[in-house]
Chains A and B, each alone.
Chain A
Amino acid sequence: MSNTILPFGPQHPVLPEPIHLSLTVEDEVVRQAVPALGYVHRGLEMLTRKKDFHQMIQVVERVCGICSMMHAMCYCRGIETLMDIEVPRRAQFLRVIWSELHRIHSHLLWLGLYADSFGFESVFMQFWKIRERIMDINEATAGNRVIVSVNRVGGVRRDLSPSQCWWIGEQLDEVETELKAIESTMLDNYTVKKRTVGKGVLTKEDAWELGAAGPTLRGSGIARDMRELKYEALDELEFEPVVETGGDAYARGAVRFKETLQSIDLVRRAMARLPGGETAAKVKGKPEGETALRVEQPRGECMYYIKADGSRFLDRLRIRTPTFANIPPLTAMLPGIELADVPVVVLSIDPCISCTER
């Protein structure tokens, strides 16, 4: 009994979301971390019994507000697969544009929170200031800042006009300039490096073995990005997954920072090649059969399993979110780090507990 035991969460100022970690600390070094979940569990998967497959779009969007667009897109793709619907090309491009915008806003938001976790308040403010431009784009194009509700089975609900595209391009230029200005802080600042380099190291082997996903996996040197599946319009848009080899909190931060710039580029190219045509296909009938598919969310790979029996209501909807996959690596990362680095490491996987628990 010579250890400090302290409850970290569920309500904790540095945790944006309720997760509990029971930390056993010895001289401020974490020896053991036991997670407890359930503070956000709502039981969304079972709402398929209450909402029909169209209404479920709005439900899965709210699995997580930050990556809502990707959840809805993945779900719609699943239903479209089951119903054999061909989504118009323009809709595919628009989905990519909005999803990449979501990635940008999610990463910017995370970068801010991450900075806050090691007490760098001004960087937090700066990232969130930059992020507001993306929120404006969302609001102007989709009508809402966070949960955009643009997806529907068979396509998208909103369209982009050429003038809007031009305006978005302008805004993204601004975002890029401001990001470049802060790049050196995030990647080279002495104090930031001191707080992140070597913290929460996940080796390449461990990352693979423990099933890490997204930037957590790529930060450990494994180039695995679900966008390589070339879904929607990504078959026309070339990109290279961002990889860092450090496997520590710094590497994961760097991956996300670089991905933000990459996504800006993707949006620009998608807007440049935006084809004309319809934005949604007609939907007839009801889904039937089972399918499993994946998309890359800001936090990593998200898998949807959908089983339908030909009625209005789905038989089973199963969502495996990226954070769900990143929790086991997190529990492996925590022992051995300092107490002060716990928030940094916890945030470095970009935990989205509402995704995890649904």
Chain B
Amino acid sequence: MNPVDMTTETLRQQAKQIKADGCRFVTVTCLEETEDTLALIYHFEKNLELFHYRVRIPKDKVVPSLCPVFSAAFLVENEIRDQFGVTFEDLEPDFNGTLYFGDSDVVTATPFCRFGVKRADG
């Protein structure tokens, strides 16, 4: 797979383009690339083929949500909000970091980033 790189500025515009091409939204993958950058990989599908677009962002950056274009994106964006602490603009409905976690107890906002569960072999 060869993800096409995008920027947060062009993200929504390109998403509209992709949708106009007849593509379907599949999901978004977020991963921690370095200590302070994250990558969001957007997966789309057309005719059984997957297309990938990558956006690299610093950890505190606000990302425009895809919800206005693909309304199905709200769930995965909320999940990323929970797990990586990425804030999305225009997210509807916005669970505000409470999709998976209660306000209490062990896990706080962004476990993937903050704790970064260490590997078993160090």
A contacts B: CB pair < 8 Å: yes
Q: Which of A3-46 contact B (CB under 8 A)?
A: 34, 36-38, 41, 43, 46
The answer, among B26, B72, B117, for a CB contact under 8 Å with A46, is B117
Q: What's the dominant secondary structure at chain B's contact region?
A: mixed
Nearest Cβ distance between residue A309 and chain B, in whole angstroms? 11
Among B9-17, B55-63, B96-104, the stretch that binds chain A is B96-104
Q: Which residues in A have some Cβ–Cβ distance to B below 8 Å?
A: 34, 36-38, 41, 43, 46, 49-51, 208-211, 224, 226, 228-229, 290-292, 294, 303, 305, 307, 312-313, 315-316, 318, 320, 324-325, 327-329, 357
A312–B121 CB distance below 8 A = yes
**Contacts of A226 on B, CB cut-off 8 Å?**
48
Would you call B50 an interface residue if the criterion is a C-beta within 8 Å of the partner chain's C-beta atoms?
yes
Kindly state the separation between the CA atoms of A34 and B1 in the bound complex, as whole angstroms.
Answer: 36
The answer, among B71, B76, B111, for a CB contact under 8 Å with A210, is B71
B99–A37 CB distance below 8 A = yes
Interface residues on B, range: 20 to 34
Nearest Cβ distance between residue A67 and chain B, in whole angstroms? 17
B48–A316 CB distance below 8 A = no
B99–A38 CB distance below 8 A = yes
B100–A211 CB distance below 8 A = no
Q: A46-B111, A313-B119, A320-B26 are in contact. Are A290 and B1 (CB under 8 A)?
A: yes
- For the A-B complex with A313-B120, A320-B43 known, give 19 more contacts whose Cβ atoms are closer than 8 Å: A34-B93, A38-B99, A38-B101, A46-B117, A210-B71, A211-B25, A291-B1, A292-B43, A303-B43, A305-B43, A312-B121, A316-B29, A316-B32, A318-B29, A318-B31, A320-B26, A324-B27, A325-B72, A328-B75
B1–A292 CB distance below 8 A = yes
Nearest Cβ distance between residue A337 and chain B, in whole angstroms? 19
Nearest Cβ distance between residue B19 and chain A, in whole angstroms? 9
Kindly state the separation between the CA atoms of A45 and B118 in the bound complex, as whole angstroms.
Answer: 13
The residue in A36, A46, A211 that gathers the most chain B C-beta atoms within 10 A of its C-beta is A211
Q: Which of B52-100 contact A (CB under 8 A)?
A: 52, 70-72, 74-76, 93, 98-100
B24–A43 CB distance below 8 A = no
Q: What's the dominant secondary structure at chain A's contact region?
A: mixed
Closest to A212 in B: B72
Nearest Cβ distance between residue B30 and chain A, in whole angstroms? 8
A50–B71 CB distance below 8 A = no
Kindly state the separation between the CA atoms of A108 and B100 in the bound complex, as whole angstroms.
Answer: 30
Q: A292-B1, A328-B72 are in contact. Are A38 and B102 (CB under 8 A)?
A: yes
Nearest Cβ distance between residue B69 and chain A, in whole angstroms? 10
The residue in B1, B24, B43, B48 that gathers the most chain A C-beta atoms within 10 A of its C-beta is B24
A307–B52 CB distance below 8 A = no
Kindly state the separation between the CA atoms of A320 and B43 in the bound complex, as whole angstroms.
Answer: 10
Q: A34-B93, A38-B99, A292-B1 are in contact. Are A209 and B71 (CB under 8 A)?
A: yes
Q: A50-B120, A292-B1 are in contact. Are A208 and B27 (CB under 8 A)?
A: no
**Contacts of B118 on A, CB cut-off 8 Å?**
49
The residue in A34, A305, A324 that gathers the most chain B C-beta atoms within 10 A of its C-beta is A305
